[in-house]
Amino acid sequence: MIELIIATHLDYFENIYLENSREKVERDDYIIAETKRGTALLRVVKKNYEIPEDNIVEPDGHFMRRATEQDLEKYHENESMADEAVSFCREAIKTENLEMNLVNAKYTMDRKKLIFNFTADERVDFRSLVRVLATRFKTRIELRQIGVRDEAKYLGGIGPCGRAHCCSTFLGDFVPVSIQMAKNQDLSLSPSKISGACGRLMCCLNYEDDYYEEARERMPDVGQTINTPDGSGQVVGMNILDLVVKVKYQDDYIREFHCDDLEAAGGVQ
């Protein structure tokens, strides 16, 4: 068995699995951890739990200690320094004439590494830029090319639902989303209606997809002729959430039936 905790960053959500056999921590505790990208200040989202070693390939890092007030002050100092680094880097990108869009910059807690995240349509040869940045900031420089979904997670914002982006607040890992999910839910297929701030299909299309698939297996298609408690009729509409089907009869009268009533009457012909 291996003892783990799950933590995330303070300004965006990302599940980070940390090995922790030193001491017990609670949800929302601030901790210092050694991660794959360096020392970081994190917030605990799931306290100590045990898991068989066969169920995890490798933790993302390990717990070092609880954070102190001094750590929190240093974190905010690092954030201010990173903002200045962003301004300098953007000017350097223009000078080097590189086709890349800088998203943000992050210092590790010990300031031994300065990480710049950027997006680009193609791979970028940024070796000259790294030399400029290393000379300016006197620390190890790491440039990471990220995707548009990661960019939205880092930048944050408000979605069409009026709430903060899922990826920035609670969605730990990105899951595949397909246009079929929108079709299953009878949503408009207009890109402006089903795309998020990143320009890709909204992550929330995945949340209820299992329910819609199960419901559709029980419900007939529009245009089908079915048996109902009042006789045979044609399906002209449906409410998948309530499992209600609208049926039109030869006299043009329309009635609504729950799936349970239709199944009892014999269902699809």
pLDDT digits (tens, 9 = 90+) for 241-260: 888 999 998 888 888 888 88
Least confident residue range of 48-57, 92-101, 216-225, 226-235: 48-57
Is 77 contained in some domain? yes
Q: Which tens digits make up the pLDDT trace of 70-117?
A: 999 999 999 999 999 999 999 999 999 999 999 999 999 999 999 999
Strands (E), 79-230: 101-107, 113-119, 140-145, 225-228
- What mean pLDDT comes out for the span 188-213? 91
3-class SS of residue 239: strand
SS (H, E, C) 45-87: EEEEEEECHHHCCCCCEEEEEECCHHHHHHHHHHHHHHHHHHH
pLDDT band at 265; cut points 50, 70, 90: low
pLDDT(268) > 60 = no
Residues 12 and 43 in one domain: yes
Instruction: Please tell me the total count of domains within the chain.
Output: 4
How far from the centroid of its chain's Cα atoms is residue 192's Cα?
Answer: 19
Rounded CA gap, 125 and 223, in Å? 57
**Residue 183: domain span:** 175-218
Is 250 contained in some domain? yes
Residues 138 and 92 in one domain: yes
- What mean pLDDT comes out for the span 36-46? 94
Residues 97 and 62 in one domain: no
Q: Of residues 159 and 42, which shows the higher confidence score?
A: 42
pLDDT(57) > 80 = no
Is 156 contained in some domain? no
How high is the pLDDT of residue 267? 59
How far from the centroid of its chain's Cα atoms is residue 104's Cα?
Answer: 18
Of 67, 83, 114, the residue that ends a domain is 67
Q: Which tens digits make up the pLDDT trace of 139-156?
A: 999 999 999 999 999 988
Is 205 contained in some domain? yes
pLDDT band at 222; cut points 50, 70, 90: confident
pLDDT band at 269; cut points 50, 70, 90: very low
- State the chain's mean pLDDT as an integer: 90
Residue of 7, 1, 39 lying closest to 21 (CA atoms):
1
Residues 63 and 96 in one domain: no
- What mean pLDDT comes out for the span 51-70? 86
